[in-house]
Structure 1
């Protein structure tokens, strides 16, 4: 059943601004009042038709504000960044501030009522600290604890689901990548190119064979980690490009600009960049009447990786269509992996021009947390 566009827009607006949480907090505090007073109908009449409504809404409003300030500001800005002492101090101040603000509901009830403060709440107004410590403060702590428990449980479930998707995606990616790379076309053409170089340029043939060996070793042994050193991914990419250049026509120009100093401490998921490089070589134009180009720029600034690759394409409509509908390890696959591995830490822009195809990736990398420097068997 599909919703009308206007209803769907209204629902999206409510979800965006968390307005659907308002009924939750109303029910939550209503239940607490029922526990304290015992009669649910008596509580409902108090909230709806009596002077105590000011008190009720002060609890709903100020505790909700404190909870969301904690969830959407204090936790991301302080707790998740390791500022534990500052977070605890800020959380304590937030709870106390909310508790004192709740007192406004008591005083508003007193202001609009014919009864005295003592008659309404069985406590003298000059003993408001006792009211804070005995009623408002414990209620704020309980609300904060409940909200954090719900949030942590939700985050844990999302993390678990993301991990399951990553494992599934990783298996599919490895199978597809190996199937794509270890195919007779790639192996035979590369070996063929090296074979002809043995007689023409033995030194170049030897260097190419070493690159080919590194390429195979990387795929077999080093691509199984969740993270690998950024330098190894770049080295693999350079070896792949050098081998591909042997197979390309003379009118294909490949330009590289790589600045990756101080990258040893950073890690990256395997084959994130290689997908775009493969795509460029696979779909570069093969026109004989003009120069065909592949341009790659890679720059590292602190922990931000800026990667850009473009290739000329044929003006044939079928070629352009194949770029988008590639069924190998294509653009949709790498976009999915980026969404799973770097959900909030990447920006991918794909430009499909009339005679060029360009990919720009801004990726925030993490510190390398696995030992990927171990030696591997030599092929």
Structure 2
């Protein structure tokens, strides 16, 4: 079956650069061969150099063709490349051995001992070039595929943050609407500001840390209104003015939200939440400590109340900060602590 004309033209365009590169490479090869023939005192050195160059380039293309056939059937291309490299080295050693210690005998055998390793070496070089290039293309394709998968997974995780926050907040508002309905209007205003940031401003992969801290402070004010005098809050948050210091959006808020969520369920008259954030060199140092009931600690350790937020933020840390973060979580009978160290973007 004949291929469509457009497809034939496309194939020519793909192969044309290879032919051009081969033509350019053949010039320095011919110069090297001519120099070699002069040094060896061969007759008709220019003609011989031309013949060797044509022979070499033709063998290279033959090697590329053989490699294409092998690539279809061989899965482990790295092992194939090593095997071809061994053949190439052996051919080179054989050729140089013949040049250093020329065979004294029949002319036909003399020519064979020169040209056979040269032929095998040239074909092997062409095969090695094709195989190595194919390995590079496959690795690049796999890297792009993995990056695309990670990006789509990250977008999915980020898209889940706002509904999760809204679900928890609406549950809290429902309880307050029954017992303390006078708190609902200011809480709704704060909630509107929080949702505006999470929906419109937190869509980027990284946002300025100062914007994230403004969101966190707004959330803390929201919780102060909701919990009231029962809350014993201590914050030690550094004032960040540099917009170049960036962080993944809605990352720290998960830990703070969990701190308020679990601390309010303790039977103690007062609940405490301690929040700290500092920057040091290119690191962001963040910690949260909150009161924690015994039953809450047991449930979290057993995985019953770990919730959606913590697995989400752990996965995002793995995607966005590979080998650039350290998360420590301690759930004890009286309090719950997290410490996060990550590299600023």
Q: Deviations over 1:168-219 (max 9, x none)?
A: 33333333233233x1523774999795799xxxxxx8xx997565334324
Pair 1:242-2:221 in alignment: yes
Pair 1:122-2:114 in alignment: yes
Equivalent position of 1:275 in the other structure: 254
Q: Deviations over 1:126-174 (max 9, x none)?
A: xx9x998x46654543333122111101111111222232233333333
The correspondence for 1:288, drawn from 268, 273, 290, is 268
Equivalent position of 2:298 in the other structure: 320
Q: Which of these two proteins has the greater Rg computed from alpha carbons?
A: 2
The question of whether the paired residues in 1 share the 8 Å contact of 2:85 and 2:128 is answered with: yes
What displacement does 1:273 show? 0.7
The correspondence for 2:82, drawn from 40, 51, 60, is 60
Equivalent position of 1:217 in the other structure: 196
Distance in 2, matches of 1:340 and 1:301, equals 23
CA 1:159–1:212 in 2, change beyond 3 Å: closer, same or farther? closer
Equivalent position of 2:155 in the other structure: 167
CA 1:212–1:172 in 2, change beyond 3 Å: closer, same or farther? closer
Equivalent position of 1:178 in the other structure: 166
Unaligned runs of 5+ residues in structure 2 are 1-61, 70-78, 104-108
Distance in 2, matches of 1:60 and 1:120, equals 26
TM-score norm. by structure 2 comes to 0.59
Equivalent position of 1:256 in the other structure: 235
What displacement does 1:274 show? 0.5
Equivalent position of 1:69 in the other structure: none
Q: Deviations over 1:245-265 (max 9, x none)?
A: 233364542221222535411
CA 1:312–1:173 in 2, change beyond 3 Å: closer, same or farther? same
Distance in 2, matches of 1:303 and 1:192, equals 46
**1:103 counterpart SS class:** helix
Unaligned runs of 5+ residues in structure 1 are 1-30, 39-56, 65-100, 199-204, 367-379
CA 1:319–1:358 in 2, change beyond 3 Å: closer, same or farther? closer
Q: Greater shift after overlay, 329-338 or 260-269?
A: 260-269
Q: Greater shift after overlay, 338-347 or 144-153?
A: 338-347
